[in-house]
Amino acid sequence: MTAPVDFTACPRVTGRAYNGANGKKICVAFEGARWMLKFPPPAGERPTALSYTNSCLSEHLASSAFRLLGLDAQETRLGTFRNGREKVVCACRDFTADGRILYDFCSVKNTVLESETGGAGTELSDVLDAIDGQDFVDPAAIRARFWDMFVADALLGNFDRHNGNWGFLVDPATGAAEPAPVFDCGSCLLPQADEATMRRVLADPAELDARIYVFPASMLKIGGRKINYADFLASSDDPDLAAARARIVPRIDPAAFARLVAETPYLTDLQREFYTTYFAARASRLFGVSR
């Protein structure tokens, strides 16, 4: 098992702040690098009443799952931080520590004057047009990255890959840009499932099916409606999606994900069983992978 870390005594890095609506974040130095510590959002700021969140666990498991799929994603570690009460936090290695600047796709889309909607719009055709219209990075490379991320998000049930949750790293001296590592995976793997929900999903196949075929939906939209992952994967004939599936699906390995879950500290037995089962079920039902 990965050794648990207590980040409480790590030196704070001043002059670095992070935005995002889902909880507090600070920058600390740890093992010679800078890390963003993501705290669980306080109860009053959670999206639904009685809401419960495992978003820090999702952040670590899903970011690590992206890496298992061979995609460039942020490095994460789970640990604790004591500020009054001890909390489990997710440390995300800061990929801008080399001085490059992250421009999220929302701001990049704003530069495309032909785009029909603002930067935040997630209508799929408009997002794809903005990918082709931006002049930061070769559009073919971004299309490939976009669809790779879509496939992984579908596998992990991500309901929050809006245009602020992916982007490009730009060298301010030269203007050279490349896709940023994947970040903000805290809305994968049903972060709002509490213990009772986990038990129901494990015990009742209909409860599990609903969470694969009905929800969560993608942040991307067609005709103003959020994309249902299962329907879209079964019907889309987009050649770039097909190419991404050909790259990613052979790398889906439920046993490797189960090992990751087994190695992850702080999880209860129920959580371990839930994450392993949910991943394997999505791999099998959405992508036909049952190894």
Ligand X SMILES: Nc1ncnc2c1ncn2[C@@H]1O[C@H](COP(=O)(O)OP(=O)(O)O)[C@@H](O)[C@H]1O
Binding site for Mg ion (CB under 5 A): 20, 165, 184
**94 touches, from ligand X, Mg ion, none (C-beta below 5 to 8 Å by class):** ligand X
Q: How far is the CB of 18 from Mg ion (least distance, A)?
A: 9
Q: Which is nearer to Mg ion, 162 or 247 (CB)?
A: 162
Question: Which residue in the shown chain puts its C-beta closest to ligand X?
Answer: 20
Q: How far is the CB of 134 from ligand X (least distance, A)?
A: 18
List interacting residues with ligand X (CB under 6 A). 18-23, 36, 74, 92-96, 102, 164-165, 183-184, 186
Q: Which is nearer to Mg ion, 226 or 247 (CB)?
A: 226
**230 touches, from ligand X, Mg ion, none (C-beta below 5 to 8 Å by class):** none
Q: How far is the CB of 12 from ligand X (least distance, A)?
A: 16
Q: Which is nearer to ligand X, 105 or 274 (CB)?
A: 105
Q: How far is the CB of 41 from ligand X (least distance, A)?
A: 8
Q: How far is the CB of 164 from Mg ion (least distance, A)?
A: 6
**96 touches, from ligand X, Mg ion, none (C-beta below 5 to 8 Å by class):** ligand X
Q: Which is nearer to Mg ion, 47 or 70 (CB)?
A: 47
**133 touches, from Mg ion, ligand X, none (C-beta below 5 to 8 Å by class):** none
SS3 string, 131-147, reads: HHHCCCCCHHHHHHHHH
**92 touches, from Mg ion, ligand X, none (C-beta below 5 to 8 Å by class):** ligand X
